[in-house]
Amino acid sequence: MEAPSPSDILQLRQTLAETQARADRAEAEAANTRAINADLVARNALLTLQIEKMKRERFGQRSERSQRLIDQLELSFEEAEAAAAEDERLAAIAAARTTSVTAFVRARPSRQPLPEHLPRTRVVIAGPTCCPGCGSDRLSKLGEDITETLEVIPRQWKVIQTVRERFACRACERVTQPPAPFHVTPRGLFGPSLLAMILFEKFGQHQPLNRQRDRYAHEGVEISLSTLADQVGACAAVLKPLYLLIEAHVLAAARLHGDDTTVPVLAKVKTDTGRIWTYVRDDRPFGGPAPPAALFHYSRDRRGAHTVAHLANFTGILQADAYAGYNELFKPGRTPAPITRALCWAHARRKFFEHADLASQLKRKPELAPVISPMALEAVARIDRIFDIERAIAGRPAAERLAIRQELAVPLVKAFERWLHGERATLSRHVPMAKAIDYMLKDWPAFTRFLDDGRICLTNNAAERALRGIALGRKSWLFAGSDRGGQRAAFMYSLIVTAKLNGVDPQAWLGDVLARIADIPQHRLGELLPWNWTGQQDHSLQAAA
């Protein structure tokens, strides 16, 4: 067989190079197309998310699924944005192998400056010592360009040694030594900032101690699970005086929001269903000066005896759902006095909305054709007009709220009552819409009590917001280990949620409280409450730093 000539080899190489170039160009163009499509998907996800957020801000909570919908949309946007960034980078790599294809570059909003409060570290790239053009060393600095990059330093562990020197008197031979500093837990193994982090991770971020132990071990610090649990128990004992002050503050309110949620509790062969109860004092909707606070309790079941015990000395207004366990509190012969009952319109609206929401019907019974009830749509529309009035008077004084309600809300509520009676007369007892109407009509005085008292809110959302973190955290911590663990969780939720209600960083607050609580007199403990806290004070950890 005749060997190929050099010219044939050259031609083959040229053909191969042209084929490779065409392949690279096709790959780059395909990568650009994928990047453009991914960018469009990300833009669409962002626009959808922004529209839903604007709807929520403009019109309020239009559906019971709105917050969950926004969470889902944020997750979808997160995935679409990550995919678009990945495809953009792949397109740039593919385009770099060609000379005829320009890589697709996504349009991005102008970058916001990095936070001013963060410390800056200057890294100076050495400039030339001579002119690259003529070689002269007569260079004069004209200025500089600064590129800022956000960076993080991994968490640093350290051991603080507290030294107490001993002295002997040469005259009387007496030995003296400064007293040992206070330690929150026995033998002072952990500092207050570390203890605060453990507590907040467990109860605020819903990270069980075994996961914390594993993460600390990865960082080179081995701490046994029993040691971590000991610290949590000891801190709960130290913080109890603050819990009692929060409890007294909450129960001194003229009006409370009450609600409960389920928590799985570890049993011998399976998990039981316990309850976490919350009572929230929040006077801000009617311009009250008292700071907000939340009180939590735990119980193994949902018997009404628990609410009776929780509110044994409370005599004000209780805003809650129609749970029958509260009924004992409203009886005329109750000691010291009956509690005034106010029901939640959001719960009532939800019962109508279920029959007006297409998506929820498909989710509950996908095998059945959904039916939108015109009666349910009308009920939701009427309730929403009352909600519009309430949003306009949020934060105003109670007397002003009452006057506006008497002028604007009373006619709407009376018309709504007449409409409910009229529609109910056309329905049989077993129709779902009849049950939704009966839910309101049988307790109509409790639903309309807000028309006679400007302090009462239209909904019980304050309590539901307080419980939201627990509902989200259940999937992380799986179950409470025991009844005692449930009680300790309720104890810590009271502290953490109260701090959040007052705009205070719970972890920073807990760290400062644990450092100072032993040295502060009993009559000044109120200074450590979240609404009186003014920021971290100097303590041993900061001094050692």
DSSP string, 64-130: TTHHHHHHHHHHHHHHHHHHHHHHHHHHHHHHHT-SS-PPP----PPPPPPPTTS-----PPP--SS
**pLDDT on residue 481:** 61
The pLDDT of 479-490, averaged and rounded, is 77
User: Is the pLDDT assigned to residue 543 strictly greater than 70?
Assistant: no
Give one DSSP letter per residue of 530-543, joined into a string. GGG--SPPP-HHHH
Residue 410, classed as helix, strand or coil, is helix
Cβ within 8 Å of residue 368, ≥6 positions away: 361
The phi, psi pair for 281, rounded to 5°, reads -100, 115
User: Is the pLDDT assigned to residue 507 strictly greater than 60?
Assistant: yes
Q: Which band of pLDDT confidence, cut at 50, 70 and 90, is reported for residue 541?
A: very low
Q: Which band of pLDDT confidence, cut at 50, 70 and 90, is reported for residue 532?
A: very high
Q: What is the pLDDT of residues 130-154, one digit of tens each?
A: 888 888 888 888 888 888 877 878 7
State the Cα–Cα distance between residues 304 and 275, nearest whole angstrom: 12
The pLDDT of 187-206, averaged and rounded, is 88
Residue 429, classed as helix, strand or coil, is coil
Give one DSSP letter per residue of 244-265, joined into a string. HHHHHHHHT-SEEEEEEEEEEE
Judged by phi (left if over 0) then psi (alpha if -120 to 50, else beta), residue 68 lies in: alpha
The pLDDT of 297-301, averaged and rounded, is 92
State the Cα–Cα distance between residues 308 and 303, nearest whole angstrom: 9
* Sole residue written with tokens 């959302």: 461
User: Is the pLDDT assigned to residue 530 strictly greater than 80?
Assistant: yes
**pLDDT on residue 64:** 45
**pLDDT, greater one: 312 or 476:** 312
Question: Do 195 and 185 meet the contact criterion of CB atoms below 8 Å apart?
Answer: yes
**pLDDT on residue 545:** 35
The pLDDT of 445-455, averaged and rounded, is 96
State the Cα–Cα distance between residues 290 and 254, nearest whole angstrom: 11
**pLDDT on residue 223:** 87
* Sole residue written with tokens 């009532």: 348
Tokens of 294: 């939340």
Question: Do 42 and 80 meet the contact criterion of CB atoms below 8 Å apart?
Answer: yes
User: Is the pLDDT assigned to residue 367 strictly greater than 60?
Assistant: no
Q: What is the pLDDT of residues 228-239, one digit of tens each?
A: 888 888 888 889
Range picked from 65-69, 105-109, 281-285 for highest mean pLDDT? 281-285
Report, in this order, helix, strand and coil percent for the chain, each rounded to 5: 55, 10, 40
* Sole residue written with tokens 């819903």: 206
pLDDT above 90 as % of the chain: 44
Question: Do 254 and 455 meet the contact criterion of CB atoms below 8 Å apart?
Answer: yes
Burial 507-541 (b: 16+ CB within 10 A, else e): bbbbbbbbbbbeeeeeeebeebbbbebeebeebeb
Please state which of the ranges 104-108, 360-364, 468-472, 494-498 shows the lowest mean pLDDT.
360-364
Q: How far apart are the first and last CA of the chain?
A: 83
Q: Which band of pLDDT confidence, cut at 50, 70 and 90, is reported for residue 198?
A: very high
**pLDDT on residue 527:** 94
Question: Do 506 and 534 meet the contact criterion of CB atoms below 8 Å apart?
Answer: no
Rounded-to-10 torsion of CA 357, 362, 368, 370: 20
Cβ-based neighbour number of residue 258 at 10 Å: 24
**Integer CA distances (angstroms), 4 to 8, 12, 17, 20, in order:** 6, 10, 18, 22
* Sole residue written with tokens 């939704």: 436
Amino acid type, 507: Q
The pLDDT of 513-540, averaged and rounded, is 83
Q: Which band of pLDDT confidence, cut at 50, 70 and 90, is reported for residue 410?
A: very high
Q: Is the entire prediction scored with pTM above 0.95? A: no
**pLDDT on residue 173:** 86
State the Cα–Cα distance between residues 187 and 429, nearest whole angstrom: 68
Where does residue 84 rank: exposed (0-12), middle (13-18), buried (19+ CB within 10 A)? buried
Range picked from 59-63, 189-193, 387-391 for highest mean pLDDT? 387-391
Q: What is the pLDDT of residues 106-128, one digit of tens each?
A: 877 676 787 888 889 888 888 88
Q: What is the pLDDT of residues 159-183, one digit of tens each?
A: 888 888 999 988 888 999 988 777 7
Nearest residue to 295 via CA among 87, 35, 124, 492: 492
User: Is the pLDDT assigned to residue 368 strictly greater than 50?
Assistant: yes
Helix H or strand E segment including 299: strand 293-299
**pLDDT, greater one: 443 or 478:** 443
State the Cα–Cα distance between residues 172 and 155, nearest whole angstrom: 49
Mean pLDDT over each residue of the chain, to the nearest integer: 85
**pLDDT on residue 142:** 84
The pLDDT of 499-504, averaged and rounded, is 96
User: Is the pLDDT assigned to residue 268 strictly greater than 90?
Assistant: no
Tokens of 6: 């050099």
- The DSSP bridge partners found for residue 263 are 274
Cβ within 8 Å of residue 247, ≥6 positions away: 295, 494
**pLDDT on residue 544:** 37
Q: What is the 3-state secondary structure (H, E, C) of 433-471?
A: HHHHHHHHHCCHHHHCHHHHCCCCCCCCHHHHHHHHHHH
Cβ-based neighbour number of residue 393 at 10 Å: 19
The pLDDT of 265-287, averaged and rounded, is 85
The phi, psi pair for 71, rounded to 5°, reads -60, -45
